Amino acid sequence: MAGFTTRAIHALHGIEENAVVPPIYTSTTFGQPTDGTEGPFEYQRGGNPTRSNAEITLAALEGAEHAYVYATGMGATAAAMGILKSGQSILLGMPVYGGNYRMATIEMPKRGVSYEFVHDFTALTDADFVGKDVGMIFLETPTNPTLRVVDIRAVAEIAHRNGALLVVDNTFMTPYLQRPLELGADIVVQSATKYLGGHADLLAGVATTNDAALADELFKAQLITGNVLSPIDSYRLIQSVKTLAIRMDRQQQNTARVLEAVAAHPAVQNVYFPGSHSEAEAQLQAAQSSGNGALFSFTMAEGKDIKAFLDALQVFTFAVSLGGIESLVCLPSTMTQGAFSDEDLEASGMTKRLVRVAVGIEEAEDLTADITAALDAA
């Protein structure tokens, strides 16, 4: 198999005749044969050449048989969770992204699907499935925003042994660093808004699978709900992922520098990154991923002024989201996880002093100087 970036650039080779960069098809409808057969495309909601090209590209990066792109990352999550039937339940890791939390706690109960949060998947046993119709385990690893690492292969084994699907949200790692389908996941979802898009100017989601029956369900989620990515955004996503590996390499290098500066600062109590919680998690992260990504969190020491820290930042922007070329910080307890109940925030260790840092591609010296000065101001 060709290398990652080679696949990203050449996945469409031969599909568009002589076009190094594929064209954008904006047509909403396509002429059909008059003999009663159907053409390859009929109506944009059901299929579009540019969207198809984006799906071919992302499937190649994931090593998947099937990929489907949606209007947002939550659109991909909704498509995956939408496979569940009334009377079934879903197990989710905790903490979980706030959007996924809302989907599980607000939307799924309307469909007759119950939910349960799992704080430690290493303690999950077959007995936890008895008397329940668990249809799906939804897993983020590393977790958002505490960066705990979960054994994808082990969770896949217990899920399948008990008749449940495993869906892994791979937004933080991307297929460049981690490929959950190879570790036993049934479906992988990602917010392509983040690292895949990479420039904070595109909303998109993707779901990939190697299972034909699940692929049909993911396609129906596009067709029936109209939850599709536009041709222009599909084109932009195709172009963006071509530089994913280069961006991610730079972001990981910068993250190592920024993390070192933050960890050494007296205003910081604890830092969290994939593998920081234990040696076992560090070994697991190294085994199932080829890097730690470009995101970490830290807890400000007691008595320090977080607002003063935020106000002093000049290069980092105080904003939600992550994965773009620009560096961001946010406060998960009131922003990305703002939908959490107080009980779930406390159980997940997300205090108001927890800061999440998403590192971009700026000069590492500028980033470390900026965050160090802001911590001094705190």
Question: Among all chains, which residue has been given the structure tokens 């060709």?
Answer: 2
Percentages (nearest 5) of helix, strand, coil residues in the chain: 40, 15, 45
With beta carbons less than 8 A apart as the criterion, state whether 283 and 339 touch: no
Q: How many CA atoms lie within 13 A of 320 on its CB side?
A: 12
Q: What is the end-to-end Cα distance of the chain in Å, rounded? A: 50
How far, in Å, CA of 352 to CA of 354, rounded?
6
Q: What are phi and psi of 350, to 5 degrees?
A: -95, 85
Cis peptide before 95 (omega within 30 of 0): yes
How far, in Å, CA of 98 to CA of 172, rounded?
14
Go through 5-36 and write b for each residue having 16 or more CB atoms within 10 A of its CB, e for each that does not. Answer: bebbbebbeeeeeeeeebebbeeeebeeeeee
> Which residues does the annotation mark as catalytic?
45, 97, 169, 194
Would you state the structure tokens that stand for residue 214, as one six-digit string?
């699940």
Cα dihedral 115→226→215→52 (10° resolution): -140
Strands (DSSP E) contained in the chain are: 66-70, 89-93, 114-118, 134-140, 165-169, 187-191, 205-209, 268-272, 295-300, 317-318, 328-330, 354-358
With beta carbons less than 8 A apart as the criterion, state whether 200 and 207 touch: no
The size of the chain, in residues, is 378
Q: Which of 197, 234, 199 is nearest to 70 (CA)?
A: 234
